[in-house]
A and B are shown apart, each in its own frame.
Chain A
């Protein structure tokens, strides 16, 4: 059945019927090409999406103190809530089971000077773990460490753009800059995927900030990272127990909306992931539609091909072709064409996706890609359906009496 002679016969038929070959090959190649490109772009969209929301750690809760609006346990309303170092210690002590790390954050604005250059920057006074919470990437030097916290060192870590602004091409490491009147030594430069604003920040040890501010122990906000293994439900539970803990400690009414705020990144992340999933489903649906269109296209062409060949098939049958050999040669021919052109279309699509790379970043498509196994299965599906679509008319043609097929003009 699959002898060399058979293939020779099929190659000849393919060669001598270029239009037909081109039509069916083109349909399949185009279908797969569009599928691959579309699906890849969908993935690129999801990539962009993840990048937008992925520059901070995702296992993080932000706790902000507020101002009470409800009187509670003898305290009047309109009372300003403040966090202190002891609150940080309490979290580490009471929630050790769930918490990976904590860091305070005290944000201040201020004029920063180096030689003749000066500019206003936000300074964040933080703990060492803050590096993980913001996914800060060190370009040179180091981030603030425990020793800095302990010794209340006057060190700063500056953003890439701060260095750019103040130092130009000069190396900033080891140089002293003036931050709101005090001299700080630059010990590190960082970059951040979160955009330009994130790279115009200055980090210093929070104990140093507290020392400058009359040796206070106040903290603006607390960042709590939970252990990823507690999962989404665990994070939500931790969210609630932290809320309860601080309301109790700070005498804030459970009904008070403004006394305490907790921003849960896990919760936001979950919503974002759902959005991304919906995006992927839509893209998948469109891509699936393309494949269906391709299948319909190849089916139409197969019907046309068989119709066109009715008379030839009649002649072949009169000369002794069995129905099996008629069906076999039509199918082999179609599978051969669809396989070759399908894989050509697939490779071309993958090539286009690869060459796109970052070029469409402005259109929210980052690094479009397609799983190679996905691309291959889509191609195989199209080939399979092309074969099925070819089988039905081929079977019908093989069953026509040769006398009727010969009469066909």
Chain B
């Protein structure tokens, strides 16, 4: 699904250049649930942003579902993001003046899906994350866990190839975190490919594979036995 070869990325900080990713080789198969771990500054968020086409790579190659991702202009990148990827952010990033349902329907709007169908799909995905009754509520009327579930529903609504989650539980208490992880595991069980950036070991343990990043290189990449989140809920 994802193939990355010899990926380099540096940021210019004035006259200095900060080499963040120093040759990453990494691939993800369909249906995997991968945790990318590392301390802050290890480059894990940068890697996720490049995977999400929110940022561009300097060197190396990136292939997503057989499509080489390079030299994208913003329009093309936007189309690919819409088609291939779903995002879940630490700070939820819901649009605050839109109801839960409208937030979920937004990626479909950019896919030019009709209004009726958009609403039906949005409700279906809200149902899946258990928030159907909350469809008409604004984000400000939802708890943190509910917001993240709406964000996950929104990421899933576009039916992406890969779900990318940047510290999805970073702003949540542990009970709520486990609820969200339970949801993510269920989505993964349904066959979706998911990448999670996290620095919390217990969250990483709920994935099927852990990739450890340190100072811009992969120091460890291991398959693990998944801890089910449902036992904590």
Q: Check A320/B74 contact, CB under 8 A, given A9-B109, A403-B49, A403-B55.
A: no
Indicate if the CB atoms of B158 and A320 lie closer than 8 Å. yes
Task: Chain B residues near A403: list those with CB within 8 A.
Answer: 49, 54-55
Indicate if the CB atoms of B75 and A319 lie closer than 8 Å. no
**5 cross-chain CB contacts under 8 A:** A12-B98, A16-B98, A316-B110, A319-B158, A406-B54
Q: Does B125 contact A (CB under 8 A)?
A: no
Q: How would residues 308 to 343 of chain A score, 1 for a CB under 8 Å from any chain B CB and 0 otherwise?
A: 000110111111111111000000000000000000
Which one, A8, A312, A320, A406, contacts B81 given CB within 8 A? A320
Which one, B54, B94, B158, contacts A402 given CB within 8 A? B54
Indicate if the CB atoms of A401 and B75 lie closer than 8 Å. no
Q: Check A319/B97 contact, CB under 8 A, given A8-B115, A9-B109, A399-B74.
A: no
Q: Check A319/B74 contact, CB under 8 A, given A12-B98, A403-B54.
A: no
Q: Does A162 contact B (CB under 8 A)?
A: no
Q: Does A398 contact B (CB under 8 A)?
A: yes
8 closest cross-chain pairs (CB), A and B: A320-B82, A16-B97, A320-B110, A403-B54, A322-B78, A319-B107, A322-B75, A323-B74
Minimal Cβ-Cβ distance residue in B for A4: B115
Minimal Cβ-Cβ distance residue in A for B106: A319
Q: Does A150 contact B (CB under 8 A)?
A: no
Indicate if the CB atoms of A319 and B49 lie closer than 8 Å. no
Q: Does B62 contact A (CB under 8 A)?
A: no
Q: How far is the CB of A103 from chain B (nearest CB, A)?
A: 78
Indicate if the CB atoms of B78 and A315 lie closer than 8 Å. no
Inter-chain pairs besides A8-B115, A314-B93, A320-B110, 8 sampled, C-beta below 8 Å: A12-B98, A312-B95, A316-B106, A317-B81, A318-B54, A319-B106, A401-B54, A403-B55
Minimal Cβ-Cβ distance residue in B for A323: B74
Secondary structure call for the B interface: helix
The interface of chain A, by Cβ under 8 A from chain B, is 5, 8-9, 12-13, 16-17, 311-312, 314-325, 398-399, 401-403, 406
Minimal Cβ-Cβ distance residue in B for A405: B54
Indicate if the CB atoms of A319 and B54 lie closer than 8 Å. no
Minimal Cβ-Cβ distance residue in A for B155: A319
Q: How would residues 98 to 119 of chain B score, 1 for a CB under 8 Å from any chain A CB and 0 otherwise?
A: 1000100011011100010000
Indicate if the CB atoms of B98 and A315 lie closer than 8 Å. no
| Total residues of chain B contacting the partner, CB 8 A | 27
Indicate if the CB atoms of B93 and A406 lie closer than 8 Å. yes
Q: How far is the CB of B88 from chain A (nearest CB, A)?
A: 10
Indicate if the CB atoms of B87 and A321 lie closer than 8 Å. no
Please, how many angstroms separate the alpha-carbon atoms of A406 and B158 in the complex?
20
Q: Does B79 contact A (CB under 8 A)?
A: yes
Please, how many angstroms separate the alpha-carbon atoms of A401 and B49 in the complex?
11
Q: Does B89 contact A (CB under 8 A)?
A: yes
Q: Does B154 contact A (CB under 8 A)?
A: yes
Most buried by B among A316, A399, A403, A406: A403
Please, how many angstroms separate the alpha-carbon atoms of A319 and B80 in the complex?
10
Q: Check A318/B111 contact, CB under 8 A, given A402-B54, A406-B54.
A: no
Task: Chain A residues near B95: list those with CB within 8 A.
Answer: 312, 315-316
Task: Chain B residues near A323: list those with CB within 8 A.
Answer: 74-75, 78
Q: Does B216 contact A (CB under 8 A)?
A: no
Secondary structure call for the A interface: helix
Task: Chain B residues near A315: list those with CB within 8 A.
Answer: 93-95
Task: Chain B residues near A402: list those with CB within 8 A.
Answer: 54
Please, how many angstroms separate the alpha-carbon atoms of A52 and B189 in the complex?
91
Which one, B55, B102, B110, B115, contacts A321 given CB within 8 A? B110
Please, how many angstroms separate the alpha-carbon atoms of A217 and B94 in the complex?
101
Q: Check A318/B55 contact, CB under 8 A, given A8-B115, A399-B74, A406-B93.
A: no
Q: Does B52 contact A (CB under 8 A)?
A: yes
Indicate if the CB atoms of B78 and A317 lie closer than 8 Å. yes
Indicate if the CB atoms of A320 and B75 lie closer than 8 Å. no
Indicate if the CB atoms of B75 and A324 lie closer than 8 Å. yes
Minimal Cβ-Cβ distance residue in B for A314: B93
Please, how many angstroms separate the alpha-carbon atoms of A321 and B79 in the complex?
8
Please, how many angstroms separate the alpha-carbon atoms of A401 and B78 in the complex?
11
Q: How far is the CB of A322 from chain B (nearest CB, A)?
A: 4
Task: Chain A residues near B49: list those with CB within 8 A.
Answer: 403
Q: How far is the CB of A108 from chain B (nearest CB, A)?
A: 85
Please, how many angstroms separate the alpha-carbon atoms of A17 and B109 in the complex?
20
Minimal Cβ-Cβ distance residue in A for B89: A406
Task: Chain B residues near A399: list those with CB within 8 A.
Answer: 74
Q: How far is the CB of A148 from chain B (nearest CB, A)?
A: 84
Indicate if the CB atoms of B78 and A17 lie closer than 8 Å. no
Most buried by A among B74, B79, B81: B74
Please, how many angstroms separate the alpha-carbon atoms of A406 and B94 in the complex?
11
Q: Check A320/B79 contact, CB under 8 A, given A315-B93, A315-B95, A406-B54.
A: yes
Task: Chain A residues near B81: list those with CB within 8 A.
Answer: 317-320
Task: Chain A residues near B110: list those with CB within 8 A.
Answer: 316, 319-322, 325
Which one, A17, A320, A324, A401, contacts B97 given CB within 8 A? A17
Q: Check A321/B78 contact, CB under 8 A, given A16-B97, A406-B93.
A: yes
Please, how many angstroms separate the alpha-carbon atoms of A13 and B106 in the complex?
13
Indicate if the CB atoms of B111 and A320 lie closer than 8 Å. yes
Task: Chain B residues near A17: list those with CB within 8 A.
Answer: 97
Task: Chain A residues near B52: list those with CB within 8 A.
Answer: 318
Q: How far is the CB of B11 from chain A (nearest CB, A)?
A: 11
Indicate if the CB atoms of B109 and A322 lie closer than 8 Å. no
Most buried by A among B54, B78, B109, B115: B78
